[in-house]
A and B are shown apart, each in its own frame.
Chain A
């Protein structure tokens, strides 16, 4: 069974731009969560989607948003990029919100 896939794997943007990251969950998984990983703050929860509905949101500004499609694929968007948004963005999928989460390889975002 294929794992969680994330595209693109690497991205370089400049301040003020916006970016969209994509996540395809494991087949049959309907829950997708997003995390931001930085050396200083570690792994921080961004949001969780299940059946196209956002169930949980972490403590991030409104510039961070996401959505989930009917095929369970998810996207997250960051608008008006700041230098501090440089991070590894990880997507994790599970069969449902109470089940084990499996992580993708992440998208490395660099904001210049």
Chain B
């Protein structure tokens, strides 16, 4: 029940395309859903995060869509660029009961071709 399932494992798109990465969870106590971006040799960097009372959130070219009833959320990258090539992780936590314990998905390796 603590798992977060992420798909696909890898994704290749052309420049300007809109890659979509999906995550699903079981634990309805999760109340915080961040997405992290990781480049080789670096630590994960926070991209965008959403709470379950919001269905969509946009920050620049990154959009999170959240479906509370389906217990699913997804990341869309608009007008993708080669510089977006990285590994993306979704995560979830029950902040007020379990604080900083983030449960991560397995990651999606994104490649944006020029």
Pair B103/A98 contact, Cβ less than 8 Å: no
Pair B100/A48 contact, Cβ less than 8 Å: yes
- A55 adjacent to chain B (CB < 8 Å): yes
Chain A nearest CB from B91 CB (Å) reads 8
Pair B43/A104 contact, Cβ less than 8 Å: yes
- A62 adjacent to chain B (CB < 8 Å): no
Q: Among A42, A56, A105, point to the contact of B101 (Cβ < 8 A).
A: A56
What size tier do the contact residues of chain B reach? 20 to 34
Q: How far is the CA of A72 from the CA of B105 in the complex (A)?
A: 28
Q: Which of chain A's residues 36-73 have a Cβ closer than 8 Å to chain B?
A: 42-45, 48, 50, 55-56, 58
- B42 adjacent to chain A (CB < 8 Å): yes
- A24 adjacent to chain B (CB < 8 Å): no
- B49 adjacent to chain A (CB < 8 Å): yes
Q: Enumerate chain B residues within 8 angstroms of A45, measured Cβ to Cβ.
A: 101-103
Q: How far is the CA of A20 from the CA of B48 in the complex (A)?
A: 32
Pair B89/A43 contact, Cβ less than 8 Å: yes
Q: How far is the CA of A106 from the CA of B82 in the complex (A)?
A: 25
With known contacts A97-B95, A98-B96, A33–B45 Cβ distance under 8 A: no
Q: Among B89, B95, B96, B99, point to the contact of A50 (Cβ < 8 A).
A: B99
Q: How far is the CA of A92 from the CA of B49 in the complex (A)?
A: 16
Pair B95/A98 contact, Cβ less than 8 Å: yes
Chain B nearest CB from A49 CB (Å) reads 9
Q: Among B34, B46, B100, B107, point to the contact of A33 (Cβ < 8 A).
A: B100
Q: Which of chain B's residues 42-96 have a Cβ closer than 8 Å to chain A?
A: 42-46, 49, 89, 91, 95-96
Pair B100/A42 contact, Cβ less than 8 Å: no
Residue of B nearest to A41 (CB): B106
- B98 adjacent to chain A (CB < 8 Å): yes
